[in-house]
Each structure stands twice: as C-alpha cells, then as structure tokens.
Structure 1
Amino acid sequence: MLRVLTLSTLFPDAARPNFGIFVQRQTQGLAASPGVDLRVIAPVGLPPFPLDRLAHYRERAGLPAAELWQGLEVRRPRFTVVPGTGGRFHAGALVRRLTPLLNELRTRFPFDVIDAEFFFPDGPAAVALGRRLGVPVSIKARGADIHHWGHAGATAAQVIDAGRRADGLLAVSDALRADMAALGIPAEKIAVHRTGIDRTRFHPRPRAAEKARLGVQGPLVLSVGALIPRKGHDVVIDAVARLPGITLLIAGDGPERSALAARIAAAGITDRARLLGAVPHDDLPALFAAADVMALASSSEGLANAWVEALASGTPIVITPAGGAAETVNRAAAGRIADRTPEAFASAIAEILLAPPDPIEVAAAAQRFSWEANAAQLRDHLTGLVAARAGVG
C-alpha cells in the first residue's frame, strides 16, 4: 500500500469551486489507483488582521476545517499570509501551521510520501516537513509557480532551494522543465508529467446546436482563464475588434473584470463581446465545443488545461509561444502559435476561420492526454521515491 499525503494550496473549495480543479482531478485519479491510500491537505492562507479589510478572504475564512470533497478526505488548515511582503514568509508560516497537524495525522495515517502539487509555498514547506518527518517529497511545477515565484526577489531562493532538496520533481511540459533547469534546479530530477482530459465530457459536439444554445450566430471566439493581466484577455479583445462579425466570449473572473469591460466598450464591440464570469467546470465542455477558435494570449504558462480541453472538444486554439505551446500545437489542425499582439492574434484567428479544420482532427491532437496515464505515472513516480528512500531496487 502506498500512503500519500497530497499538499496543495491550489485546490477547489466552496468559495472557489474552479480553483485548481485540475489538481482535484489528478488527485482523484491517484486516489482511485490500485494500492493507493491518500489524504489531502489544502491549506488556506489568511491575513493576520480583520478580514473585512480584504473582502475576498471572507468566504475562505468560513470554510470547514475538514470535509469530504468530491470523494476525497480534505483538511483545510489556516495559515498566516501577510499581504505586501511578496510571499517571503508564506512557506515558513505554512511549516509552523502544518508541523503539529502532520505529527498528529501520522499517528492515524502513517503516510509514506508528501506529494506537493504547487511549487510555492507548498514546495519549500513540503521539503522542510519531509526532512522533519523522514519521508520523501515530490514537488510539481505548473507554470506561474516557477515563472513568478521562481523569479521574484522575495521567493526565488526558496523555490530553487526546494527544487534542489526535493527527492523528485514533476513539470507539466518539456518547456517548463527547461525553465526550471535554467534556474539551477537539476534537470535530471525533473520528469514531465502532463495533464489529463476526460473525453467522456470534452469531445466534439454539433457546433451549430451548441452556438444556438448560447444565442450566438456566426463565428465564435472563446477565451478561458482568470481575469488577470498574465492571461492576455485584453490582447484577444483588441484582436476581435479587428474582425467584424465575430463574437467573443470570455469565461473567467478576477481583478481585471472592470478594466476588460471598459476595454470592450472602448473598442466598440459591446454588441458582440461578453464577459461570462466564472463558469462552472461542468459547463465548460459545451462552451468549448460551441467555439470556432479558443484564443488565449498568455504571457507565461506551463501547459494550460484550457488548451487541452479546447482541443479535445474539437476546437483549434490560438496561443502565444508560452510554455508548452509548441508541444500542444504540434499539427496544423491544432491551431496557431502567434505573437502576443492584437494584430498577430487577429491574423491567426482569421486564418483558421477561413479554412476550419475537421473537429475530429483537432481532437486527435489531445489524444495523448488522459487522466488514466496521468494517475499511473504519478503513482509510479511516488512509489519510486519511497523505494529509493528505503534503499530498495
């Protein structure tokens, strides 16, 4: 029996049901694997002062300390985060909070390995806890955790040190593995562990019918991602403004919502561009299948799940050369890789709309992504770390 403690600050909850949904899906797959027993620690960071000062923390404060979430036993301990410190003290605070909790948990669940599912602050905390408890540690890199925290002055040294001290490392793409190595993290310790896709949900559907349900006529461009500058929704808005007769739907929520709404108004496309807000993950398959193109102008990515979900739905993508873009758009039917400018995105979108690829050929580009393969690789990876620590094999 492989007993796994999954540690992830990137995990869904009642306040943020779409937050880290891919971590949840991966963890469910691992937990269902033969010979695996698993518990989840999903820490919730809260500031040390009254929450009415920062409204977005209020709902998180009311989350249960422990619950059964989508079939997984999840604990949600609170730890202190101090806004304005650049994350410098996050990992230390997490270690202090989790040390007594994990000491107590081990008396009932003697876990063999810690599986950290985000590089910061999870990774440095997991390494420190693993050393104290005498268990191996794996850390998975997903994109922003390396591209932001791995370069920020307050946290870069912590990220690099954790990468060097962890027993094993995972990255969502070959490109992210190279980015980690460029920081000085040993490349030989990093395995590429791609995301999965549920093809019973994400698959081609009759596009015209799905558009009709949305009240859309004519070409439809979809952008999916948090409303933050890194995702580049402003670039896509400006691109669609250059393409008359095309509808744009943006699924996601975040601090840039007002700015993006103003940009849509300034571009004069309020009649054909809509901000949908946060869309439940269960509603995304129909949305992807309705679109003629999914466009995401990210400044950085590891390998975005939205890319793979769109492709599996038969929808070609237009994306920047960020992260694992070239590993994903590996055939003409999959879409285009474009510079992060409105002109380049408009040109790429127009090119696809002029000669739409067969949705079945598009979906074939996502064939190598599956949750079954994802779970099997993760189980083997963690089993290997436990065996290596025990001196077996």
Structure 2
Amino acid sequence: MSSGARLRVLSLATLYPNRAAPNFGVFVARQMEAVTRRGDVDLTLASPLGLPPFPLSLHPRYRALAALPDSEERGGVRVIRPRFRLIPVIGGRFNAMAVARAVLPLARRLHAERPFDVVDAQFFYPDGPAAVRIGKALGLPVSIKARGADIHHWGARGDTARQVLGAGQAAQGLLAVSQGLADDMAALGMPRERIALHRTGLDRTLFRPLDRADCRARLGLPADASILASVGALIDRKGQRFAIDALAQLPGAILVLAGGGADEPSLRARAERLGLGERVRFLGPVPHGELPVVLGAADVFVLPSASEGLANAWVEALACGTPVVTTPIPGARELITNPAFGRFAGRDGAEIAAAVAELLAEPPPREAVLRGAEGFSWEANAAALVSHWQRLAGR
C-alpha cells in the first residue's frame, strides 16, 4: 500500500472521451471527474488508443486519434494514452494482450515513482484481462467493472469468452451496474461473492425537466405532434429498427434518433420503405450536454435493446420527466418498477406501438416519472466506487 492518506488508483478505460470522439464513454468521464472532485483519490486514467497498421492508419478516424496528445488533463482527471496495435474487425481477441503490453511499462515507471494501491478496469474487455496482467506484475489488487455489452458480447464470443472469464475469476473485486448483470456474470462462472452492485450516476444539474415547447422549437419539431426519442449508437443491439416499425402504427407521431453508427443507412432505407421518411429525424451524434433538449422534447423515450446492464439513457430520460419504453431485460426491470416510469415491450413494432400508445393516451404526471431517477447522482456513484477501491486496498 502506498504511503499517505490519498488512495492511488490506476484505472484503464478503452472507452473515454477525447477531442476526436467527445461522446466516447462520456459516462466513464463523468464518474472519474466526480471521483477526482472528492479529493481523497490520486487517479491516473489510462485510455489506451488502438491504431491499425499502415495503410489503415491513414483513415481519417485513426489519423485523428493518432494526433491526440500522449497525456493531458480532462475535467480534472489525468489521462494518459498509450498506443497499441489494433487489427480492425478480426483482431478483437488480441486486444487485451496488446493493451497490457502498451500500458505495463508506463505503469511500472509510475508505480516505482509513487506506488499505486489498486488497478482498476472500467470495462470487462479488453480492459479487464489487461488490468489483471498489470495487477499481477505490480503485486496489486484488481477491480473490474461490467457494464453490459462487455459481458453479453465479449463474454459470449468464442475467441474472447475464456479471457473474460479468466479475468473475472482472477480479479479481487468485481462490479456490475445491475443485479441482472451480476447474475449473468455468475452464470459464466465468476465468483458471485466478489460481485458488488454499482449503479450508474446522473448529472442532475443537466438532466432535469425542461419546457417541452421550447425543446421542440429548438429541434424544429412541431409543437402538437407526438414525439418519440431514442438515444444511442445506431447499431443492431439498440434496436432502432423496431422503433421505426412501431412508428408506422402511430399516425402522426415523429421519431427522433440521436446517435450515429453502422446501421444508419439501413435505418434510413427502412423508414423510406415504410413511407416514414418525413417522420424519422436523424440528429446524428448529439453532444452529451445537449441530450436534455432531445429528451425534454419527447413524450416517450424508446430503446428496444437486446441487452443492457443498466442504460444511462433510461435514467437520463426519467430525470427529464420522460417515461421509457424498453425491453423487459433484467436491468430495465430493476429500474422501471412503476407504471409511471414506463412500459415494457418486446423487440416488435406492434408491441412497442401498443406500449407507446398507452403512455400517450394517459401520460403519467412528470413528478411521478421523476421519481424513477431518485437516488442517482455522480456523487453517490463516486462514493460507492471509492469505498470499493478502499476495501480492496485494505484501507
């Protein structure tokens, strides 16, 4: 254990915002900024950058990442960015080892200067196996946090499942954003007694009820239409296509999609094919600070995810007074515990349309919806995380 009162933590987060990708893992940044504001943790955040070999490295996306500084302070957090070799699409199974090789020399040097107390991973893959290797090399306890897709995707892939399970069995402490996700981790073979619940946070100064008419005016939306909003990457797992299918059964309603991703062309084509081109609005990636306007404009928030831990977007919608329609996955069942908070529906346009229609016919009072986000804050999230690290460090 290091000397002094402040806990020294090295945290790995391959998803962390930067100038090239400001929305990338913004929820991790908010958490770590809240940790730093406490004043009792000396935090170093390692956000390894995966860069492919030439000529893929010439792609604008990777050129922008390569131009980022090796280290900087963001929101009061010290961020370092070791580079590792990335093989897009087919190289996922190598990423954890590559991250460990990139971070370990720097971790050794920093640990020799001022010893760390804990090595932390903010995602289960590739961060988790890399953190276990670094922790073993430095003789330090390791914590790994599971958020959802890192377990449901990487924990099920044939080429990475063993790495995920091995890291979960080797780490001294594990975190899950929902009880359902903790159960999924235990079902894979991770020790249930080491898994603690760690809920997401919420910026209550940002996500709060706003004037609906003003929000709609800012987005160029009609004041008298029924508005559905969906926030998230445009990828198959998020299921925006089912929200588009539902829109076909909700005459006059408009669907606003905030986010970018590989599914955008197919989603646009689906909307046109169903004759909904004018009623589906693609906003692209929306800065996190502007999401309350999107959520505040909506009558209902729709996210037909195949899997989630406990989605930040659900909590943020409720904090804006907007009820949620989502799939009955475990994390959602832990949050949507009152009819005022929303409805459950399968990944099916007719089911989603019926759930939305119920909420439009009898909108729950905003005050009742807001209760769904009670207890969520980044301060509470940070306090729980620091307590977890302290237990691992024997503080």
In structure 1, what is the equivalent of residue 375 of structure 2? 368
Q: Paired residue for 2:100, among 95, 102, 120?
A: 95
Residue 3 of structure 2: aligned partner: none
Q: Does residue 307 of the first structure (1) align with residue 295 of the second (2)?
A: no
Residues 83 and 102, structure 2, Cα contact 8 Å, conserved in 1 = yes
What is the match of residue 260 of structure 2?
253
Within a 5 Å distance, the mapping from 1:165-204 to structure 2 comes to 165-204=170-209
Match of 2:128 in 1: 123
> Residues 269 and 84 (structure 1 numbering): CA distance in 2 closer, same or farther, change over 3 Å?
closer
Tell me the amino acid that sits aligned with residue 162 of structure 1.
A
Segment of structure 1 superposing worse, 55-64 or 94-103: 55-64
Who is 1:292 aligned against? 299
CA distance in 2, matches of 1:175, 1:292: 28
SS at match of 2:373: coil
Q: Would the aligned equivalents of 1:143 and 1:323 in 2 still touch at CA under 8 Å?
A: no
Q: Does 1:5 align with 2:10?
A: yes
Matched, 1:283 2:286: no
Please give the residue correspondences for 1:160-239 in structure 2 after superposition, counting only pairs within 5 Å. 160-217=165-222, 218-239=225-246
Report the CA distance between 1:213 and its aligned residue. 2.2
| Structure-2 separation of matches of 1:221 and 1:98 | 43
* Alpha-carbon contact 1:86-1:154 (below 8 Å) kept: no
- CA distance in 1 between partners of 2:372 and 2:70 (Å): 41
Aligned residue type for 1:256:
D
Q: Give the CA deviation at 1:171.
A: 0.3
Moved more, 57-66 or 280-289: 57-66
Distance 1:143 1:323 in 2: 11
Q: Which residue of the partner structure matches residue 78 of structure 1?
A: 83
**Alignment match, 2:155:** 150
| Conserved? CA contact 1:204–1:360, under 8 Å | no
Question: Aligned partners of 2:57, 2:376: CA distance in 1, in Å?
Answer: 43
Q: Give the Å deviation of 1:154.
A: 0.4
Q: Distance in 2 between matches of 1:141 and 1:100?
A: 26
Q: 1:106 Cα deviation (Å)?
A: 1.7
CA displacement at 1:287 relative to structure 2? 1.3
Distance 1:216 1:106 in 2: 54
TM-score by length of 2: 0.96
Identity, % of aligned positions: 54
Find the partner of 2:277 among 267, 270, 276: 270
> Structure 1 regions of 5+ residues with no counterpart?
none
Distance in 1, Cα, partners of 2:19 & 2:327: 32
* Aligned mates of 2:75, 2:382 — CA distance in 1: 17
Partner SS, residue 324 of structure 1: helix
Number of residue pairs the alignment of both structures matches: 388
Cα deviation for residue 5 of structure 1 reads 1.1
**Distance in 2 between residues matched to 1:270 and 1:225, nearest whole Å:** 20
- Say if 1:86 and 1:155, in contact at 8 Å, map to a contact too: no
Q: What is aligned with 2:340?
A: 333
User: Which of 58, 61, 86 is the matching residue for 1:56?
Assistant: 61
Runs of 4+ in 1 over 3 A off after TM superposition: 52-56
Query: What is the CA-CA distance between 1:215 and the residue it aligns to?
Result: 2.1
Q: TM-score, normalised by structure 1?
A: 0.96
CA displacement, residues 148-205 of structure 1 (integer Å, 9 cap, x when unaligned): 0001000000000100000100000011000101100011100010001111111112
Q: List gaps (5 residues or longer) in structure 2.
A: 1-5
Q: Name the Cα RMSD after superposition.
A: 1.3
